[in-house]
Amino acid sequence: MTDVIQDAAARLETYREARRRFVTGPQGNLALVNTEWILGDPAEGQRAFGVPGLWFPLPAGESGLRLEATAADGILVDGSLVDGSVVVRGQDSERASDVRFSDTVTGFVIASEEGTYALRVWDAESEGNRDFGSIDAFAFDPDWVIEAAFTPIEGGRAIGVEHLKDHGVTRERVVPAEITFTKDGVDFSLTAFEDNGNLLLVYSDATSGDTTYGVGRFMKLVPDARPDGSGPGTVTLDFNRAYLPPCAFSYHFNCPMPPLENRFTVPVEAGEKNVLNASGGLLH
């Protein structure tokens, strides 16, 4: 192995260790134990599974949820003990609220595209964290580091993206550019969409559901386009850094599915494969 490849392989191991620390963190993927959507009449409180308090939707256009609790419930919102009623601001707010239920159980409020809100609950001592062993992954393969053409689409292009738990209903995503490359004589044209300020590639391949996670894998992209975005550029597709979506770690995530053009018929034997338990079997 040349020095360049050895250096790239070493950087990949550093990246994978950072991934392991992230997914096992107090609010890492393995710690998510509930996503409870609080809907309906703002005057009617709801219980969220596994945690105390009554949770109320706010009037349309307001960010977050309202919480009613007593001091005996022991809930801290933004560091203050709740004894009465408080607004828990959502992640779409400039100052999102932090919720703490105990030394290990925390939460925050997420927003949907329709303006509804859910309480997410994380447990640092979740079953997933207790049973986790490792993230199985392919060895570094320099052949799966590909420089692709990145051609901006003026105004972007909207596509409908299915999600795992949405029963075929699609959500609109903006595709800012066309990504094309050729490998082993086969031409590829991929769709990467904007996602929380990032560019996200969601794909599956011939290994999906066999040697890798069935839903597919993710890759974050950083294109090297012209500064004004007016012309073609390049983007590096390092499939060695392809990672498992959050739903591979917890059933409480709702992940996007690969668009049709991102469903490779060839095997991509690079990147993360599956989440394993401490015995070496599949975690889920």
Q: How do residues 257-278 score in pLDDT, each as one tens digit?
A: 999 999 999 999 999 999 999 9
Confidence grade of residue 1 (pLDDT, cut at 50, 70, 90) = low
Burial-class residue 44 by CB neighbours within 10 Å (0-12, 13-18, 19+): exposed
Confidence grade of residue 232 (pLDDT, cut at 50, 70, 90) = confident
> What is the per-residue pLDDT for 227?
45
Residue with token string 């207790």: 130
> What is the per-residue pLDDT for 284?
83
**Mean predicted confidence (pLDDT) in 177-199:** 91
Confidence grade of residue 4 (pLDDT, cut at 50, 70, 90) = confident
User: Could you tell me if 110 and 143 lie in one domain?
Assistant: no
User: Could you tell me if 163 and 264 lie in one domain?
Assistant: yes
* pTM for this model (two decimals): 0.92
Strands (E), 70-169: 76-77, 80-81, 84-88, 99-100, 105-111, 117-123, 132-137, 145-162
Quick one: what percent of the chain has pLDDT higher than 90? 86
User: Could you tell me if 126 and 143 lie in one domain?
Assistant: no
Confidence grade of residue 225 (pLDDT, cut at 50, 70, 90) = low
User: Could you tell me if 101 and 159 lie in one domain?
Assistant: no
User: Which residue range(s) make up the domain with 117?
Assistant: 29-131
Please say which residue of 116, 131, 146 terminates a domain: 131
- Spatial neighbors of 176 by CB under 8 A, at least 6 apart, are 152, 153, 156, 193, 194, 199
Quick one: what percent of the chain has pLDDT higher than 70? 97
Q: Residue 194 pLDDT > 90, yes or no?
A: no
Please say which residue of 108, 131, 154 terminates a domain: 131
> What is the per-residue pLDDT for 198?
81
